[in-house]
Structure 1
Amino acid sequence: MALTGEQITNYLADESLVLSAPDFEGAIQHLAYNSNDVTADTLFFIKGNFKPEYLADAKAKGVTAVIAPVDFTETLDLPTWVVDDVAAAMSILSMAFYDRPQDKLALIGITGTKGKTSSAYMAYEILREATGDKVALSSTLAVVTGTDPKFHYRAHLTTPESLDLFRWMAEAVENGMTHMVMEVSSQAYKKERVYGLRYDVGIFLNISPDHIGPNEHPTFEDYLECKMELFDHSDQIVLNADSDHFGQLIERAEMAVPKDGLWLYAQEHTDADEDMGADMSYRTVREDLQGSTFAVSAHGQQGQALELDGEYDLDMPGDFNQGNATAAMIATRLVGADPEAMRTALNEVKVPGRMQELTSAEHGTIYVDYAHNYASIAALLQFVRANERVDKLAIVVGAPGNKGVSRRPGIGQAINEGADVAYLTSDDPQYENPADINAEIAANIDADKVQIIEQLDRTKAITEAIQASGPNDVVVLAGKGLDEYQKIEGVDTPYENDWAIAQRVVNELTNEPE
């Protein structure tokens, strides 16, 4: 793994990214965008405002050349390729440096406002069963590049920076992986993290307003446009025909792939005309809060060719998860999985931090879930009410700081529609005051309808919610799942995690002396 100066110039020129190139005769042995990751003979990518003194320190550690929006050749005697898009350049050079590992993997990319992580784990488990555990994963929760636990990494972004992504792909190839499933966020396209990458199959689950704010997408239209870029970079597309804005989605998808490369799925409707021409439909056979059985039916020659008709047991509740499973089944079928592998995997699949349930005879049922916007919280609360005897439904929730500002009114709306009590608390407040964040959520809750309790200490909020619940009450802990840190003032601050706190509190209450 090395790049010459001539190769770097040529790769950038092929993408019309290079504005000027240095006369560089050395060889690059390492790539980095973080000064803490610099070693000898490093090509360093400057993505934002980078002070010359920091770059001087990086040079001392081993930076020998730079990719930047401005020239550092004279000021620091560092050969500089000046480009008009550093993030795109980093993606192109990373895939070249790691010998295009994506070409050695069958790739499934998954996008959507909700359901990406659940769908990714379903596809991952199906392919693990079908390939004999030769599948890599890149998700919001974890990155997996091999079967040994040392190749399991904590994720920091839904879609990693391109340099990390291609390095992990190369590691997966080296470990004998043949397939890879990855979540693809709108920010991945907005910030060119997957520039130049194509997927064998792209899954589009749904779209609703989210991630709109000064540090993310300026408008819903921009958010939708970034999401739809998955269509332009996929050889085949699996699309939810029940999604909002389906007209725009199908129009763009049909422009991106030929007709036989587009696969539609939908929940079975009483009126066949409402199935929107789906190739595959699904319906609930039975369900409870522990899981469900659903039936999949093919429509037309293209759907029948998949040979997926039949009933499947899913170890996750909710018709929304049945839809996610149907999408995962179609996509994995297109890259070689068989129906029997699907039956086995779906019956056993677990998504860490998703709909994890804990019960207490005296304090009811507690659910831990990563739900964090209107669509996911509303679906979760409505599902609990429909499938659980509930005297009182309480939710513990907050919203992140400095991102996803548009989510806050929606969280309040979902609470207003489905909860009796809301404990508003902290959830990665970053540089914002969590009380101010909670005020934005509370502004959309009818205080005459829902009791609002503010407790900024999340551990205390969870404890108080469980302590106050009775035998037929339900407490939903939303947003953090199994995260073991809170982002506060730019620092990952250790946090016990929602599931661990709930277990500890229930055990303490259960063992209380009478």
Structure 2
Amino acid sequence: MDQVRTLGMREPVRPYCTPSGDRMKLTQLLAALDSHDLHGDGAVEIKALTCDSRGIVPDSLFFALRGAAMDGHDFIPAAVQAGAVAVVLEDESRAPAAIPWVRVRDGRSAMAWMAAEFHGNPTSRLPLIGITGTNGKTTTTYLIEAILRAAGIPAAVLGTISYRFGDTVITASHTTPESTELQAAFTQLAAAGAKAFVMEVSSHALEQKRVDGCHFDVGIFSNLTRDHLDYHVTMESYREAKLRLFSELLKPTADKPLRRAAINMDDEQGATVAARAACPVIGYGICRGDVRAEELSLSVDGIRARLVTPKGSIDVSSRLLGRFNLSNILAAVSAGIALDLPLEAIRAGIEGHATVPGRMERVDNRCGITLLVDYAHTGDALENVLTTLKELAQGRIITVFGCGGDRDPGKRPIMGRIAASMSDLAIVTSDNPRTEDPFSILEQIRGGITPLGIREYGVDELADRSGKGLAEGADKGFVSLENRREAISLAVRLARPGDIVLLAGKGHEDYQIIGRTKHHFDDREEARLALAEKEG
């Protein structure tokens, strides 16, 4: 694959076409489908798969998919002209006259299963662990990777940040890419030496059938809170998309008869997910479930607990902070139990886990400030982080946050209320405004804060405190400052020794999307610049 890049690359390269080293007859690919209607020569040889006519190479198989904005059937003539030798479609009235075509009921699912066949079904031979849920997916993948490593199983991770194994890093274009990209990535990572895969599975990927054709061993449900309603519209639709992993994709098969689901029973949707699972369930929870915590201690130094499992108990310590990260640890331990890994490897993996980029990531300084960068971009995630920080805080909490444009507007006042009520000072700023007016977004966030009756500061009023910190006894309040760089700088200037500054919403992202343009912007870099000025 030609999209191998370093993790720090700012613009991911997205291949339109995923070639294989070998050609494959169309009939061989069709063997992966339960039903289809072939017209023309099935012996035609396929060199590459694509659903984007812009990326056709000679001897490609083109999938005409219907999307929200465009219909792939409209691009069949262009695909044929560019060199496609066969087409998979749903509407036979749009079939090409000059080349073979295949009618299927569901083009996306067909593409996923044929892509898996084209790339040799890599996940049928190696363990695959999938994590779905609103929050906690990335941290859980890192924890499971560490557990597998401790058990002597080198694992590749496919997630929000990247698809990676050792020195092979494929920039993440989506949390879960198109099935053609995904299956090609599995093959490349296996060729690099991976003996297992750990993957974040998004609700979009489940609904759009991108992970059909994946042979899961373990599926993990972390939680379900409000997110992505710009796409799913309702929470019921969002939940049903998540449930596909457990009700359909974890059904036992001849290749993988011992599939398991690990379900967070602390989440209000946990019982529903468990009831719909097509395989045995391992329930986990902080105080209940097959995997649970006892003798728990939470501090600024991390987590200590005795974990009870069906295989026995283990004492663990972790540098991760808070109850929500304990839940992530329990999810990872449950995956280890489901895979029948040794308890000692599970313990060693949890204790050897490193910080996840942009997830409660510390920015070191000499100012006596605890400065954390976190990806929390939903109300629930922000509440979890701030709940943790309030338990650990010795000084004030200053929170810098915003909400993305062209996304669910309903969560904006919710996040405003949470940030302002749980912080000593909330600085409302831009996230990725995209094509929306950033000041309109700030006003919608403000709509969730003003009913609280807390003080609204003016920017100039707070800026006058530069270098003095937020005064002792200063009123709890909030301020709106659209420029994110200035907002971060203001937070650092106002922080006093012992205070906590939380930069929420963007986490590992090293860009800000304004209009339709990506500009380089990294909260961690901005924080270091502001700290250097304060320290100097």
Place the TM-score, normalised by the shorter chain, in its bin.
0.7 to 0.9
1:281 aligns to 2:305 (yes or no): no
Task: Say whether 1:172 aligns with 2:189.
Answer: yes
Check the 8 A contact 2:30/2:114 in 1, yes or no.
no
Report Cα offsets for 1:351-379 as digits up to 9, x if no partner: 11111123545472211001111111011
* Secondary structure of the corresponding residue to residue 2 of structure 1: strand
Structure 1 residues 9 and 108: CA distance shift in structure 2, 3 A: closer
Q: Structure 2: how far apart are the matches of 1:313 and 1:428?
A: 36
The answer to whether the aligner puts 1:192 opposite 2:209 as a matched pair is yes
CA gap 1:442/1:362 in 2 versus in 1, 3 angstroms = same
Q: Secondary structure at the match of 2:414?
A: helix
1:66 and 1:79 in contact (8 A); partners too: yes
Among 225, 242, 248, the residue aligned to 2:266: 242
Q: 1:21 to 1:476 in 2, by over 3 A?
A: farther
Change (3 A) 1:73 1:262: closer
Q: Which residue of 2 aligns with 1:419?
A: 423
- Cα deviation for residue 287 of structure 1 reads 2.6
Q: 1:64 is paired with a residue of what secondary structure?
A: strand
1:135–1:180 Cα contact (<8 Å) kept: yes
Is 1:140 aligned to 2:160, yes or no? yes
* SS class of match (2:524): helix
Distance 1:75 1:334, change over 3 A: closer
Is 1:384 paired with 2:363?
no
Q: Distance in 1 between matches of 2:78 and 2:367?
A: 59
SS at match of 2:210: coil
Alpha-carbon deviation of 1:27? 0.6
Contact 1:104-1:173 within 8 A present in 2 as well: no
The Cα shift of 1:485 comes to 1.8
Equivalents in 2 of 1:382, 1:207: separation in Å? 18
Give the superposition deviation at 1:329. Answer: 1.3
Alpha-carbon deviations, 1:69-121, whole Å to 9, x = none? 44587768454334342211210110010111111111111111211111111
Tell me whether 1:314 sits opposite 2:311 in the alignment: no
The answer for the alignment partner of 1:396 in structure 2 is 400
Q: 1:366 — aligned with what?
A: 371
The AA in structure 2 aligned to 1:31 is L
Query: Are 1:7 and 2:28 matched, yes or no?
Result: yes
Query: Are the equivalent residues in 2 in contact too, given 1:363–1:469 (CA < 8 A)?
Result: no
Give the equivalent residue in structure 2 for 1:437: 441
Asked whether the equivalents of residues 368 and 496 of structure 2 are also in contact (C-alpha less than 8 Å), the reply is yes
Total equivalences in the alignment? 480
Q: For residues 509 and 319 of structure 1, do their structure 2 counterparts lie closer, same or farther at Cα, with a shift above 3 Å needed?
A: same
Aligned partner of 2:486 among 452, 457, 460: 460
SS at match of 2:285: strand
1 CA distance for matches of 2:133 and 2:295?
22
In structure 2, the residue matched to 1:483 is 509
Q: Provide closer, same or farther for how the CA distance between residues 407 and 414 of structure 1 changes in structure 2, counting only shifts above 3 A.
A: same
Go from structure 1 to structure 2 and tell me whether the alpha carbon gap of 1:470 and 1:50 turns closer, same or farther (over 3 Å shift): same
> Are 1:396 and 1:478, in contact at CA under 8 Å, matched by a contact in 2?
yes
In structure 2, which of residues 283, 286, 302 is the aligned counterpart of residue 264 of structure 1?
A: 283
Q: Which amino acid aligns with 1:434?
A: P
2:40–2:99 CA contact under 8 A, matched in 1: no
Instruction: Give the CA deviation at 1:57.
Output: 5.3
The answer for the alignment partner of 2:47 in structure 1 is 29
- Cα separation, 2, equivalents of 1:195 and 1:406: 31
Counterpart check, 1:352 vs 2:365: no
**TM-fit CA distance, 1:45:** 2.3
Equivalent AA in structure 2 for residue 218 of structure 1: V
Taking only aligned residues, the RMSD between alpha carbons, in angstroms, comes to: 2.5
Q: Secondary structure at the match of 1:444?
A: helix
Q: Counterpart of 2:335?
A: 331
Query: Pick from 149, 158, 164: which aligns with 1:128?
Result: 149
Q: Cα distance, 1:221 vs. partner?
A: 0.9
Match of 2:14 in 1: none
3-state SS of paired residue (1:3): strand
For residues 395-422 of structure 1, what are the alpha-carbon distances to aligned partners after superposition, in whole Å with 9 as ceiling and x for unaligned? 2112222233343233123213312322
Separation in 2, partners of 1:457, 1:79: 55
Aligned to 1:81: 102
Q: Does 1:469 align with 2:484?
A: no
Return the alpha-carbon distance in structure 2 between the equivalents of residues 290 and 68 of structure 1: 56
For structure 1, the 5+ residue unaligned runs are 269-274
Q: Distance in 2 between matches of 1:265 and 1:73?
A: 50
| Deviation (angstroms), 1:53 | 8.6
Amino acid at match of 1:441: I
- Residue 267 of structure 1 aligns to a residue in which SS? coil
Aligned residues of 1:363 and 1:467 also touching (Cα < 8 A): no
Q: Give the stretch that moved more between structures: 341-350 or 78-87.
A: 78-87
Distance, in Å, in 2 between the alignment partners of 1:180 and 1:496 is: 31
1:296-324 per-position Cα deviation (integer Å, ceiling 9, x unaligned): 124xxxx2xx23x0210112111221121
Q: Secondary structure at the match of 1:431?
A: coil
Residue 55 of structure 1 deviates from its aligned partner by 5.6
Residues 256-280 of structure 1: CA deviation (Å, up to 9, x unaligned):
22xxx21112212xxxxxx3xx212
Query: CA deviation digits over 1:152-197, x for unaligned, max 9?
Result: 1221212221111111111122223221111111111111111243
